[in-house]
Amino acid sequence: QLQLVESGGGLVQPGGSLRLSCAASKFTLEDYVIGWFRQAPGKEREGVSCISKGGDSTIYADSVKGRFTISRDNAKNTVYLQMNSLKPEDTAVYYCAATRFRSSIWSDTRPYVYWGQGTQVTVSS
């Protein structure tokens, strides 16, 4: 069964950093656009960032621009989300997802066919 597995979440103080990883099992990530999404309690899932198949194009939500960086290492079949200057409002479950062709609205979840199980990120003092 094709799988995405996130890791790297945890508890961090405001202003701290975390790096999330998204690793693929049984398929090649370089054939897919990868998106990071997050969902806080009581809120809808929202797009955080996405990266093109070759890694040459990235998009960020306004709320994380300048603080988060998405990257991919196709040789390791892994996509990363480096999160700096974390704020309490970044607290959520973070998911990575894969699609061969994303919508023109990059944060539209419908084209994403493979999803990880999520990793919890909590920003609190």
| Distance, CA of 105 to CA of 93 (rounded, Å) | 22
Render pLDDT for 36-82 as a digit per residue (tens, 0 to 9). 999 999 999 999 999 999 999 999 999 999 999 999 998 999 999 99
Asked if 118 and 94 count as a contact pair (C-beta separation under 8 A), the reply is: yes
Render pLDDT for 73-94 as a digit per residue (tens, 0 to 9). 989 999 999 999 999 999 999 9
| Distance, CA of 1 to CA of 7 (rounded, Å) | 19
- CA 17 vs. chain centroid, Å, equals 15
Give SS3 for 116.
coil
